Amino acid sequence: MVERGASEPFKLKSAEADHLVEHRHDDDIVTMPLEGLHPAPHLRDMEHYQQMYKRSIAEPEQFWDDIARTGFYWKQKWDAVRSVNFSRKQGRIESSWFIGSKTNICFNALDRWVETGIEDHVAFLFEPNDLSDDKSRREWTYGQTLAEVKRVANVLKAMGVKKGDCVTLYMPMVVELPVCMLACARIGAVHSVVFGGFSAEALAGRILDAESKVVITCDGVMRGKKPILLKQIADKACEIAQKRGFAVASQLVLHRLEEDKSTCEMRGGRDVWYDEAVARADTECEVEWMDAEDPLFILYTSGSTGSPKGVLHTTAGYMVYTATTFKYSFDYQPRDVFFCTADCGWITGHSYVTYGPLLNAATQVVFEGVPTYPDAGRLWDIVQRYRVNQIYTAPTAIRALKAYGDSYVQAYDRSSLRVLGTVGEPINPEAWRWYFEVVGSSKCAVVDTWWQTETGGHMIVSFGVKGMKFKPGSASLPSFGVDPVLLDEQGQEIEGPGDGFLMIRQGWPSTIRTVRGDHERMEQVYFDRFDGYYLTGDGCRRDADGYYWLTGRIDDILNVSGHRIGTAEVESALVLHELVNEAAVVGFGHDIKGEGIYAFVTLNQGAKASESLQKELIALCRSEIGPIATPDRIQWVPGLPKTRSGKIMRRILRKIAEQGGSVKMEDLGDITTLADPSVVAQLIASV
């Protein structure tokens, strides 16, 4: 098997990421509409934001001490607020917060509220895939949620799960998913949620890496009109793990399909139905008091090299940061109804479905389906049905819905909305305007939130505060405790306006702690290139008003519909085919997805390109990774443009992917370092 080709070291490439951000202007300003403000907002105005922000940077320890002390329950208080080292020259990279304290995030999310007597307050409003499925549509109070969490926790204990063990969750977007996450947290188990769209191969890799003896899954789920048979995929993943010498001991299986349970194959001694086990389980379950830095979860995310890495977050810092950002970014107020459309398989679902909202005693909608089923009005039907105050979704969804026209929005009452949140990729101004004008009737704040799996919570935010000047397409201003820095190629800090690598100078409470099983990899990826800062992997521009404009990844990570996919992962899948010699994958501008996947493939001697081979390669990407990794285009090429040291010059491929056969040699920049410059003309000719 031929290994995928390495890339040149990352460079700022904002010009090539232009498709993400076309038509963005510093002086395109929309003032925060007064109608969209709560009468008693958490942030009174921009001065209040500035004052709090400045304090969070100047006196971070006092700032976070105040917030942590007043907003949470601690079994034991901390001895020191933090200990952070972002410099490899100074030693091991570390980030520890609320050192010496003991707490439990599940207790803070549930028991705390039930103990103050608000057990009847609604935590979740479950909205099923099918509009007419009234028997599944239900409310979960804080009391009911806590009771269910305790039972699930006891089931896990009975399966032998102990503090520190990892449990893999492969589930649809139903309330039982956050319930299972909280059950893990309650007993000190570490959860690893794997998005239900990942393949058996991808799931197996994550089960193996985490050494999960217990997997929680579901017979299947309808997403729109499509059934997804999760249990079958989980079984296949267990088989793959078994072949590699690892046995999954138990599967806890939720019953969600209409079909009779008997249609789902259960293996004796290993598989247990969730409802049956939970019904039998004890209703009392003490919480496990956790050290501040005890692991809470791992979440696998794509990197620019190798297989996805297990980003690890711990207990106290993550808890304090997600709760605080939820409150301020969305101005969440008592009795508001929040609605995040993200799946818990992504970090957004962790921080802003499971943890942030519950830590604020919030009420939120959990939606099982997709925004276009039964039609493109579904999200607005939900907004009207539950009188949603804050909606949080991704630019790719906004663009997709915009394409169906305004009538789907206008058919519903959206007057409850105050905040329109966005996350996942830069939002293009056209989508921003539509969100603001059509969805929000020019009355709501558009809160753009830039952050990452590794940062745990919001980092750069366009706060919907009185006096805020929104700039469509700019993530805008740093959140509390976040100190962004732009560096040039030489590692010099850029003062004032400029374009550079986006770095974060000082630690914030929910900084990535490590990559599971490989602290060295974590140090290398995020702290090696520029000593003393956290490397975000994004390029960024700061304008004269101090607003931040994200310009796309500077590494080999694609952002497809707001989901991270490493080009390396797709390339590794493609080269598994016996006829493929080499593959190079780049992104290109895609109207709905933001970025599409473009694969350049060279075949082995004698092999012939064909439509059926193309289908086989697509199937391979889907089975190795999942449908989100399906290449949009495959181009057969005689060779790849490589430097003399064998590195693929991806910028050439990106230009071709973007402009096709019309690309001109003179637009490609310096190609003299290529081992064989004649490859380029052949590449263009083969489009």
Smallest separation (angstroms) from ligand 6R9 to the CB of 453:
3
Grouping H, G, I as helix, E, B as strand and the rest as coil, residue 566 is strand
Instruction: Using the minimum distance from each CB to ligand 6R9, give the nearer residue, 145 or 453.
Output: 453
DSSP H or E run through 570 = helix 567-574
Amino acid at 236: K
Contact 553, 479 (CB under 8 A): no
Count the neighbouring beta carbons within 10 Å of the beta carbon of residue 595: 26
Quote the tokens at residue 347.
């970090």
Contact 575, 600 (CB under 8 A): no
Residue 434 is given by DSSP the state: I
Q: Rounded to an integer, what distance in angstroms lies between the CA atom of residue 213 and that of residue 252? A: 11
Smallest separation (angstroms) from ligand 6R9 to the CB of 584:
21
Instruction: Using the minimum distance from each CB to ligand 6R9, give the nearer residue, 346 or 534.
Output: 346
Count the neighbouring beta carbons within 10 Å of the beta carbon of residue 251: 23
Contact 582, 620 (CB under 8 A): no
Q: Rounded to an integer, what distance in angstroms lies between the CA atom of residue 250 and that of residue 675? A: 53
Instruction: Using the minimum distance from each CB to ligand 6R9, give the nearer residue, 550 or 586.
Output: 550
Instruction: Using the minimum distance from each CB to ligand 6R9, give the nearer residue, 7 or 559.
Output: 559
Is residue 555 flagged as an active site residue?
Answer: yes
Instruction: Using the minimum distance from each CB to ligand 6R9, give the nearer residue, 140 or 530.
Output: 530
Smallest separation (angstroms) from ligand 6R9 to the CB of 559:
5
b/e 408-420 (16+ beta carbons within 10 angstroms → b): bbeebebeebbbb
Q: Rounded to an integer, what distance in angstroms lies between the CA atom of residue 348 and that of residue 356? A: 10
Sheet holding 337-340: strands in order across? 138-141, 122-127, 363-367, 337-340, 390-393, 419-423, 445-450, 460-461, 477-478
Contact 444, 471 (CB under 8 A): no
CA dihedral 629, 631, 632, 638 (to 10 degrees): 160
DSSP H or E run through 553 = strand 548-553
Smallest separation (angstroms) from ligand 6R9 to the CB of 551:
9
Smallest separation (angstroms) from ligand 6R9 to the CB of 393:
12
Instruction: Using the minimum distance from each CB to ligand 6R9, give the nearer residue, 327 or 564.
Output: 564
| Residue with the two structure tokens 């969600």 | 256
Instruction: Using the minimum distance from each CB to ligand 6R9, give the nearer residue, 42 or 350.
Output: 350
Smallest separation (angstroms) from ligand 6R9 to the CB of 394:
8
Point out the catalytic residue in the list 488, 555, 632, 676: 555
Q: Rounded to an integer, what distance in angstroms lies between the CA atom of residue 456 and that of residue 267? A: 37
Smallest separation (angstroms) from ligand 6R9 to the CB of 498:
18
The binding site for ligand 6R9 (CB under 6 A) comprises: 301, 346-348, 423-426, 448-453, 475, 536-538, 550, 553, 559, 564
Q: Summarize the chain as % helix, strand, coil (round to 5).
A: 35, 25, 40
Smallest separation (angstroms) from ligand 6R9 to the CB of 422:
6
Angle between helices 46-58 and 60-71 (to 10 degrees): 110
Instruction: Using the minimum distance from each CB to ligand 6R9, give the nearer residue, 390 or 453.
Output: 453
Q: Which residue is nearest to ligand 6R9 (CB)?
A: 453
Contact 79, 96 (CB under 8 A): no
Which residue numbers are catalytic?
Answer: 555
